[in-house]
Amino acid sequence: MPTPSFAARYLGRTVLAIGAHPDDIELGIGGTVALLAAAGIRVVTAIVSVPAEYELRSAEAKESAAILGSEPRILLEGGCRRIEDLKNYQLVGLLDALVREAKPAAVLTHGPTDFHHDHVTVYHATVAAQRVMQFDLFSYVPTMTRPVPVPFEPNAYVDISSTMDKKLEAIAAHKSQFYSRGLAFEFYRDLARVNGRMVGVDYAEALAVDKIVFA
């Protein structure tokens, strides 16, 4: 019997992807988002804050969401903001409201071992949002534009062989990061190839299961 796909679990339901900043979702789980969207699943990609160049970076995020097939959101809309300037209860309130509105069957967010403080803060606020309703919770790999070693122990893998190119296309839509700043994102193809090799497919994205609810 073939293995049921990740998408099959969420057909007819909503999946919510959360990233602290523009491009985090694409780097961590762009292939998974594209895969779910291609299966007809409503995927909401929510960015908490745009720390700089608001107009440009929010336009890039919109373009990237169109490539992935997701519904984009910016939680701190209207101008440049930093997550660390928020009180924790304010961030939890934002995520609570998002969960109430999107009613996700699954949430994919940053993990607790990330070195970026904003990412870890978003992870903890997402954990707290489980008070609002039950959903499967997954963390994705620490995302960074200049890779450094960070601990991450995945225990679930999504075969993204069919959406690997779309992931890179969505990352490339963030031109202000990956072109004008000269950052390389081929690392994310390498990482997906290594993850894929370890589980017998061409390309995979790795997740850590925080919680899964079986009917």
Q: Which residues would be at the binding site for Zn ion (CB under 5 A)?
A: 20-21, 24
| Nearest distance, CB of residue 193 and Zn ion, angstroms | 23
End-to-end CA distance of the chain: 21
User: Which of 24/210 has CB closer to Zn ion?
Assistant: 24
Strands (DSSP E) found in 50-124: 71-74, 106-110
| Closer residue to Zn ion (CB): 15 or 47 | 47
Find the residue with minimal CB distance to Zn ion.
Answer: 21
Q: How far apart are CA 60 and CA 53, in angstroms?
A: 11
Interhelix angle 24-38/164-172, nearest 10 degrees: 140
Least distance to Zn ion, CB of residue 142, Å: 9
* Shortest distance in whole angstroms from residue 143 CB to Zn ion: 6
Minimum Å gap between C-beta 42 and Zn ion is: 24
Nearer to Zn ion by Cβ, of 20 and 99: the residue is: 20
Query: Shortest gap between Cβ of 128 and Zn ion (angstroms)?
Result: 19
DSSP 154-203: --EEEE-TTTHHHHHHHHHT-HHHHTTT----THHHHHHHHHHHHHTSS-
C-beta of 114 vs 210, nearer to Zn ion = 114
Pick between residue 20 and residue 37 the one whose CB is nearest to Zn ion. 20
Euclidean distance between CA atoms 92 and 126, whole angstroms: 7
Rounded to an integer, what distance in angstroms lies between the CA atom of residue 53 and that of residue 104? 30
